[in-house]
Amino acid sequence: MKLLRYGPKGAERPALLDADGRVRDLGSVLADITAETLTPAGLAALRQVDTAALPTVAQPGRLAPPWRGMGKFLCVGLNYADHAAESGMALPQEPVLFTKHTSAVIGCNDPVVLPADASKGDWEVELGVVIGSTARCVAEADALQHVAGYCVVNDVSERAFQLERGGTWDKGKGCDTFGPVGPWLVTADELPDPQALPLWLEVNGRRFQDGSTATMVFGVAQLIAYISRFCTLYPGDLIATGTPAGVGMGQKPAPIFLKPGDVMRLGIAGLGEQQQTVHAWDPALIDNPLTIP
């Protein structure tokens, strides 16, 4: 299944994408797509729904984050060797973990707003892994059983905040609007091998990132098993698994950073595409009540 939510902020409706690419409204079946929907029992119930009987949505408009109630937004740094090299950082011996605040989460095509004093905005296309059942100290061999599905994530970053302002990376990663997610969540049964997915990103029509999840340093199963030793993963939690080479910070002969008016377009095979326009600081573009768990 491909699960999604559509509609204006604060008035989103649940839906799915059928085999013919049509949006089907799920409002007659459930009030919203939540963390509970993503549990094995919740997904099993949805699979019993007669998709053909659901009403189609001709003009869904805004696509919201595919589920509500994300408890944790966890991220993995330097998880592609080529990205570590372009960043001038050593290849990690263990996964590098940081967090994005859930207030960063926006829909796949919502505006990305640079903070007022931002100077080095950057992009990162990433495979998102959505947890469907509680995972605590799980074995790598069992880890994928805890996955509800996968999605596209743009790990938007402010490199000056991240690397030049002291402390952890989080302050440059969790800014409002820095976490576009979607367009939909593809359930794990439709994506049996998360380590064989091409992923790419363009800015203003120029292809900067063109990689594959096959080149991850630590695969999805390894990451889930590893993270579950430091914190319990619950349904609805999201793990962004790292990005391949091609970020703005790594461009030669000089870095390229985001500016207002830039358009980012990105996608992962089988998981859909995103497109965001970058805006200068404007609080009116940030209000996003749907991200509150």
Asked if residue 28 belongs to a domain, the reply is no
Give residue 94's domain range. Answer: 67-291
Q: Is residue 239 part of a domain?
A: yes
Report the predicted TM-score, pTM, of the whole model to 2 decimal places.
Answer: 0.96
In a domain, 196, yes or no: yes
Band the pLDDT of 168: cuts 50, 70, 90.
confident
Whether residue 50 is contained in a domain is answered as no
β-bridge partners, 265: 202, 275
The pLDDT tens digits of the residues spanning 48-87 come to: 999 999 999 999 999 999 999 999 999 999 999 888 888 8
Residue with the larger pLDDT of the pair 121 and 288? 121
CB of 83 within 8 A of CB of 89?
A: no
Per-residue confidence (pLDDT) for residue 81, from 0 to 100: 86
Does residue 152 form part of some domain?
yes
214 occurs within a structural domain: yes
- Give the CATH number for residue 130: 3.90.850.10
> Does some domain include residue 254?
yes
pLDDT band for position 288 (50/70/90)?
Answer: low
Domain assignment of residue 107, yes or no: yes
Separation of alpha carbons 45 and 179, rounded Å:
29
| The pLDDT value given to residue 166 | 87
Instruction: Tell me how many domains the chain contains.
Output: 1
Res. 293: pLDDT tops 80: no
Residue 276 bridge partners (DSSP)? 264
Predicted pLDDT of residue 198: 98
The residue among 125, 118, 113, 104 whose CA lies nearest residue 161 is 118
Q: Is the pLDDT of residue 289 over 70?
A: no
Which tops the pLDDT comparison, 291 or 242?
Answer: 242
292 confidence band (pLDDT: 50, 70, 90): very low
Can you give the pLDDT at residue 271? 98
For 87-145, the pLDDT digits (tens) are 887 889 999 999 999 999 999 999 999 999 999 999 999 999 999 999 999 999 999 99
